[in-house]
Structure 1
Amino acid sequence: MKIKHIKLYHYPMSRSARVKWLLHEILGEDFETETVALRQMAQFTPDFLAKNPNHGVPVLDITYDDGSQQVMYESGAMLIWLADHYGEKGFAPSIDESAARADYLQMMIFGAAWMDMKLWQTRLHQDLLPKTVRNQDFADFNKDKIKNEMEPMLIERLEAHDYICGDHFTAADIMTAHNIQWAGAYGLCRHPALKAYMQRVRARPAYALAFADAADFEG
C-alpha cells in the first residue's frame, strides 16, 4: 500500500523531532504537523490517550491510499519503518545488505533503547520529577554510564567514518545525533569528533526544518 497522508503529533526538541527530521528528509514539507501542548497536559486528554496510552509524543497518524489508517507511537519504530517504506531515498541499508543492515539496526536500537533510557532517567531526576522523589545520585550514575561507556563507542565510530554506520548518512544518524544533542544539555558528548559530527548533520536542510521551532521549547 502507498501512503496517502501522514500527520505527526509533535513537541519542540522532544523525541518527535527525530521523526520530524526524517520526514523532512524524505518528504520535504509534504506532511502535517500538530503541536501537542505538553506543558498544558494536552497529552492526557481522552482523544490523545486513544492514540497513545503512554501519553507522549511522537504519534504518527498514517492514512493509506485504500483509506485504511494506522497509528504509531514509538519514535525508533517510526524511523525504521519510514526509512524502509521509502527505501528508494537511501536512509537505510536494504535487507540484502546483511552486514550493513545488522550494524544499522544495532545502532538504531542502541540509540532508541539504551542511550535514550539513560538520558531519560537523567532528565527525570534532574528536571521533571517532584523534588521530593528526585535522586541526584541516580542521575549522576546515568550520566557516568553515558560518559564512560557510550561516548567512547560513538567517538571510535566517528573518528573512523563521517557517519555512525559508515560514510553514508542514514536514519540511524538521526537517532544518534538527537541523543548527542540531548546529552549536550548535561555537559556530555563534547569530544571534538562528536562536535564535528554534529556540525555535519546540522548542515542538512532537513535538520534546520526539524528544529526550527526549538525556541518554542518549554522544559
Structure 2
Amino acid sequence: MQFRKIKLYHYPATRSARVKWVLHETIGDNFEVEIVPLYEGKQYTAEYLEMNPNHNVPMLEITLENGETTTMLESGAMVTLFADSFIDANLAPKAENGGIARADYLQMLYFASSWMDMMLWQIRIHQDILPKAERDEKTCERYREKFVSEVEPQLIARLSKHDYICSNEFSAADIIITHNIMWAKMYGLCQHDVFSRYLSKVTKRPAFIKAFSDAKQFNLKPDKDSPVKANFSG
C-alpha cells in the first residue's frame, strides 16, 4: 500500500494503542497521532461525530499517493490491513497462501477483537463508566465468569503450547491479544503464570514500547464530573 499520509486519532492504552503498535511495526514512526481526550467528551463534538459517528477511538485517516482518502473505525480491521499490506514485517501468514496457518491466525485476531472485546467492554462499563444507577452487577459478574471459564482456558492452552498465540512466531494477532490480556489484568483476570510469561516477551518489542509509551496517562475511571458521563451511550 502506497500512502501519502496516515493519521491516527488515539487515546492512551485504549484500543487505538493496538493500531499505534501495528503502525510502528510496519511503517515505523511515519504517521501522525492526534490525542482525543475522551474523558473531556471531545468525541461527542459535532466536528468529531461528522468524521466518526461511533464517537470513539481509534479512527484512522489514510491518504494514498494518488490522493484517494478513506477513514477506518475498527481496530481489528486496521491491524489486519497493515499486517497484510506490509508483508516484510512478517505479521501475518500471506493471504494468497491460504491454509491452516492463515485460518488460525484470522480466527485468533477476530476472537480477540470481537468476542474478548465484548466481554471486557461489558465489565468495564458496568464497573467504571456507566452512572451507578445504570450499572448491572449481574452483567459484570456474568462476563467475568464467562471470561475466566471460557476465554482464559483457550488462551492458556495456546500459550502453553507455543511462544505466541498462533505459533512460535509473533503475529498481528498477538497485538490484539496482548492488549486484551493487559486490559483483563486491570480487572483481576488473566492471573495464570502463562500470561505473565507471555507479556514479558511481547512487551519488550520496540514497537510495543513506543505504542504504550503514553500508557501512564490512562485512567480506568473518569472523574465524577466528566462530560462523558452525560453523553455515554454504551
| TM-score category (smaller protein) | over 0.9
- Count of residues paired in the alignment: 219
Aligned residues of 1:39 and 1:218 also touching (Cα < 8 A): no
Say which structure, 1 or 2, has more relative contact order (CA 8 Å, 6+ apart).
2
Map of 1:180 onto structure 2: 181
Query: Alignment partner of 2:132: what SS?
Result: coil
Map of 2:226 onto structure 1: none
In 1: Cα distance, 2:116 partner to 2:11 partner: 20
How far is the alpha carbon of 1:13 from its aligned partner? Answer: 0.9
Deviations 1:110-143 (A, max 9, x none): 0011011000000010000010010112101101
In 2: Cα distance, 1:97 partner to 1:191 partner: 33
In 2: Cα distance, 1:118 partner to 1:200 partner: 25
Map of 1:7 onto structure 2: 7
Map of 2:163 onto structure 1: 162
Query: Cα RMSD over matched residues?
Result: 0.9
Relative to the length of structure 1, the TM-score reads 0.98
In 2: Cα distance, 1:87 partner to 1:206 partner: 16
Stretches (4+) displaced over 4 A: none
Deviations 1:152-181 (A, max 9, x none): 100000011000010110100001000000
How far is the alpha carbon of 1:218 from its aligned partner? Answer: 3.0
Map of 1:120 onto structure 2: 121
Query: Alignment partner of 1:120: what SS?
Result: helix
Map of 2:105 onto structure 1: 104
In 1: Cα distance, 2:46 partner to 2:99 partner: 43
Percent sequence identity over matched residues? 50
Aligned residues of 1:24 and 1:206 also touching (Cα < 8 A): yes
Amino acid at match of 1:52: N
Superposition pairs of residues 37-186 of structure 1, within 5 angstroms: 37-95=37-95, 96-186=97-187
Query: Alignment partner of 1:132: what SS?
Result: helix
How far is the alpha carbon of 1:88 from its aligned partner? Answer: 2.2
> Which structure 2 segments of 5+ residues have no match?
221-234
In 1: Cα distance, 2:165 partner to 2:20 partner: 20
> Which structure 1 segments of 5+ residues have no match?
none
Map of 1:214 onto structure 2: 215
Amino acid at match of 1:9: Y
Deviations 1:72-127 (A, max 9, x none): 00001100111111122111101204111100000011001101100000001000
